[in-house]
Amino acid sequence: MFSVVNDKIPQIVFALSASLGSFVIGTVLGWSSPTMTMLENGTAVSFEVSSMAAATACSLFGVGAVIGAVPAGAVSSVFGRRVSLIVGEAHVVFGWLMIAFPKAARMLYVGRILQGVGCGAMCTIIPMYVGEIAEPEIRGFLGGLYQLFVVAGILYSYVLGNFLNYTQLNLACGVWMVIHILGLLYMPESPYFLIQENKKVSAEEALARLRDPDHDCKAELVEIQKFVEEEQKNSYTAREVLEKDVNRRALTIGIGCMFFQQTTGINAIIFYMKHVFEISGSDISPELCTTIVGTIQVVMTFVSMMITDKFGRRSLMVYSMTSMGVCLLALSYYFFSKKYNPHVAQTLDWLPLVTIVLYISMFSIGCGPIPYIIIGEIFSSELKSMGTGMSIATNWILVWLVTCLAEPMDKFIGPSGTFFVYSGFCFMGMLFVVNCVPETKNRSLAVIQSDLEKN
Residues 165 and 274 in one domain: no
Residue 232: per-residue pLDDT: 67
**In whole angstroms, how large is the CA radius of gyration of the chain?**
22
Question: Which of 187, 202, 219 marks a domain boundary?
Answer: 187
Residue 264: per-residue pLDDT: 92
Average pLDDT estimate for 127-137: 85
Average pLDDT estimate for 406-411: 80
Number of domains forming the structure of the chain = 2
Residues 312 and 180 in one domain: no
Q: Which of 193, 201, 254, 202 is nearest to 228 (CA)?
A: 193
Round to whole Å and give the CA distance between 62 and 134: 29
CATH number (domain holding residue 162): 1.20.1250.20
Residue 109 placed within a domain: yes
How would residue 403 be classed by pLDDT, with cut points 50, 70 and 90? confident
Residue 52 placed within a domain: yes
Residue 206 placed within a domain: no
Tally of CA atoms within 13 A in the half-sphere of 15 that contains its CB: 30
Residue 201 placed within a domain: no
Residues 155 and 250 in one domain: no
Residue 86 placed within a domain: yes
Percent of the chain with pLDDT over 70: 91
Residue 284: per-residue pLDDT: 63
Question: Which of 187, 205, 231 marks a domain boundary?
Answer: 187
Round to whole Å and give the CA distance between 144 and 362: 14
Residues 287 and 369 in one domain: yes
Residues 152 and 264 in one domain: no
Between the CA of residue 372 and those of 25, 123, 138, what are the distances in Å? 14, 9, 15
Residues 168 and 249 in one domain: no
Residues 149 and 272 in one domain: no
Residue 365: per-residue pLDDT: 86
Residue 282: per-residue pLDDT: 59
Residue 214 placed within a domain: no
Quickly count: other Cβ atoms within 10 Å of residue 178's Cβ.
11
Confirm if 72 and 124 have CB atoms less than 8 A apart: yes
pTM for this predicted structure: 0.76
Residue 238: per-residue pLDDT: 62
Whether residue 7 is predicted with pLDDT greater than 70 in this model: the reply is no
Residue 236: per-residue pLDDT: 61
Q: Which of 367, 353, 382, 348 is nearest to 423 (CA)?
A: 367
Residues 120 and 261 in one domain: no
Residue 156: per-residue pLDDT: 92
When mean pLDDT is compared over 12-26, 138-152, 216-230, the highest value belongs to 12-26
Between the CA of residue 129 and those of 76, 295, 396, what are the distances in Å? 10, 27, 19
Whether residue 273 is predicted with pLDDT greater than 80 in this model: the reply is no
When mean pLDDT is compared over 111-115, 203-207, 300-304, 354-358, the highest value belongs to 111-115
pLDDT in tens, 286-308: 677 777 777 887 888 788 777 77
Confirm if 126 and 19 have CB atoms less than 8 A apart: yes
Confirm if 151 and 101 have CB atoms less than 8 A apart: no
User: Residues 94, 95, 97, 102: what is their CA dihedral angle, to the nearest 10 degrees?
Assistant: 130
Residue 2: per-residue pLDDT: 47
Residues 312 and 244 in one domain: yes
Residues 301 and 415 in one domain: yes
Residue 227 placed within a domain: no
Average pLDDT estimate for 267-273: 68
Quickly count: other Cβ atoms within 10 Å of residue 288's Cβ.
13
Q: In angstroms, how far is CA 143 from the centroid of its own chain?
A: 11
Residue 323 placed within a domain: yes
Between 400 and 169, the higher pLDDT residue: 169
Between 292 and 203, the higher pLDDT residue: 203
Report the mean per-residue pLDDT for the chain.
83
Average pLDDT estimate for 153-175: 89
Residue 337: per-residue pLDDT: 86
Residue 210: per-residue pLDDT: 86
Question: Which of 168, 187, 206 marks a domain boundary?
Answer: 187
Residues 251 and 175 in one domain: no
Supply the range of the domain harboring residue 251.
Answer: 240-454
Residue type, 87: V
Between 53 and 238, the higher pLDDT residue: 53
Residues 436 and 351 in one domain: yes
Residue 1: per-residue pLDDT: 47
Average pLDDT estimate for 13-31: 91
